[in-house]
Amino acid sequence: DRERGPAWVRGLLGSPSEEIVICGTPHSEGALRRLAEYAGVEIEVCHTTRKTPLEVASDPIPLDRVPDGSIVVAFSRMDVLTLARHLRDRGRPIATIYGAMPPELRRAESRRFRTGEATVMLATDAVGMGLNIPAEYVIFSTASKFDGRIDRILEPEEVRQIGGRAGRFGLHDRG
């Protein structure tokens, strides 16, 4: 990640810790091995598998038919707020999360969704970073995003990272 990569490298190389545990996708293993070699440190890699399978819907889901317990992902605050307004106007209780939202408000919106006060969450891809939100479904409003330079199709790893919010083990049988 060209935007966050340097911060990760500084954090890892500058950490005074004796041991660092990093959880990531298999896609990140090569970069971590190269970084460890550069730093002259040993790493141990443990592979795990997801306990609940992810399934891809065979057909698009219209916004008006989004099931309760869903996170609908859009890639701009404007799109999140527009989609949220559409569902609110139809009587659906909505929570929203986007990148520029203060952490306290993100936690409050996450709590509203977890407790059922909001039955659908509209969010940017910020929902895939640092929040444990028990969604049964993750629905993408689009397959592309502006990455700061260009509008591009989502990478498979991005889809898995964000889509992985669905079907949390112990809460749902699948995602």
Burial class for 106, CB neighbours closer than 10 Å (0-12, 13-18, 19+): buried
Selected residue with higher pLDDT from 6 and 153: 153
Q: What pLDDT, on the 0 to 100 scale, is given for residue 168?
A: 61
Query: Element (H or E) spanning 114, and its range?
Result: helix 103-115
pLDDT for position 175:
44
pLDDT band at 128 (very low <50, low <70, confident <90, very high): low
List pLDDT tens digits, range 63-121: 999 999 999 999 999 999 999 999 999 999 999 999 889 989 999 999 999 999 999 99
Give residue 104's pLDDT: 92
Phi-psi region of 174 (alpha: psi -120 to 50; beta: other; left: phi over 0): beta
pLDDT tens-digit map of 46-59: 888 777 777 778 89
The set of residues, in sequence order, having a beta carbon less than 8 Å from that of 138 and lying 6+ positions away, is 70, 71, 73, 162, 163, 164, 165, 166, 175
Residues 6+ apart with CB under 8 A from 130: none
Closest CA to 68 of 96, 85, 98, 92: 92
Domain boundaries, the chain: 5-39, 63-163
pLDDT in tens, 6-36: 887 888 888 888 888 887 777 788 988 998 8
Report the predicted TM-score, pTM, of the whole model to 2 decimal places. Answer: 0.75
- What's the CATH number for 63-163? 3.40.50.300
pLDDT confidence of residue 162? 80
DSSP, residue by residue, 152-163: EEPPHHHHHHHH
